[in-house]
Amino acid sequence: MLGIIGAMNQEVDRLKAEMTEVTIEERASMSFYVGKLHGKDVVIVRSGVGKVNAAVCTQILADRYGVDKVINTGVAGSLQAKIDIGDIVVSTDALQHDVEATVFGYAPAEIPQLGRVSFTADEDLRKLTVVCCRQVNPEIGVHEGRVVSGDQFVSSDAVKARLKDLFDPYCTEMEGAAIAQACWLNDIPFVIIRAISDKADGSAQMDYDVFEAQAIEHTVRLVNALVSAI
């Protein structure tokens, strides 16, 4: 069983619409759509925004549905000049940029007593995602790199500069690293797929409103192709 998580309705509605043999189950105020997508057993769910929603959602996918892979799809703010609005970032790894216990000698984003800063995406899933992206979205760039997540919409040059200095990230969003950690705790391979809606700077809110729909178009096309290819 493959788990597919998007934070918002816009990110998963079109995938849900393509499912067959669907049953819907409610858990933790989330609706889990269980059925088939392109012949594969899937459960698709809107987690809600933020790391807590994302982690709760992922644990339910593990416990109740026994998923053996997780795909997180959605939009993100670019943290690299070479990554344009509309492009896709595929995670190499993910970390929570708002975890901060440096006063005790931990590295920025290191989770105390866990011994980890970031969580590594599954290499096979990542590579397959890139191949599929080049096939179905040939007009846009696809970039493999680090995703940083926090309970924060990043929309200032100062915060963006801090994230770049500390983590050398490709994009920022609000769920991926929580899903990554929950997958790591449960030994489930994952990949995060994010289309760029803004540049996480002073123009981010305006850009987000204009480009969100176009960005989601690219992830929907990609996730459909990836599920077919898995």
Q: Which residues participate in catalysis according to the annotation? A: 11, 198
Residue 3 or 77 having the CB closest to ligand ADE: 77
Q: Is 200 in the site for ligand ADE (CB under 6 A)?
A: yes
Binding flags for ligand ADE, 75-94, as an x/- string (CB under 6 A): xxx-----------------
Q: Is 163 in the site for ligand ADE (CB under 6 A)?
A: no
Out of 172, 177, 182, 223, name the contact with ligand ADE by CB under 6 A.
172
Smallest separation (angstroms) from ligand ADE to the CB of 155? 6
Smallest separation (angstroms) from ligand ADE to the CB of 222? 17
Give the CA radius of gyration of the chain.
16
> Do 15 and 35 touch, CB atoms closer than 8 A?
no
**Which residues are CB-contacts of 22 (< 8 A; sequence separation ≥ 6)?**
16, 33, 34, 35
Please classify residue 100 by burial: count the beta carbons closer than 10 Å to its beta carbon, then call 0-12 exposed, 13-18 middle and 19+ buried.
exposed
Out of 130, 133, 174, 226, name the contact with ligand ADE by CB under 6 A.
174
Q: What is the largest CA-CA distance in the chain?
A: 52
Out of 173, 179, 190, 227, name the contact with ligand ADE by CB under 6 A.
173
What is the sign of the dihedral through the CA atoms of 147, 158, 6 and 109? positive
| One-letter identity of residue 214 | Q
Smallest separation (angstroms) from ligand ADE to the CB of 212? 8
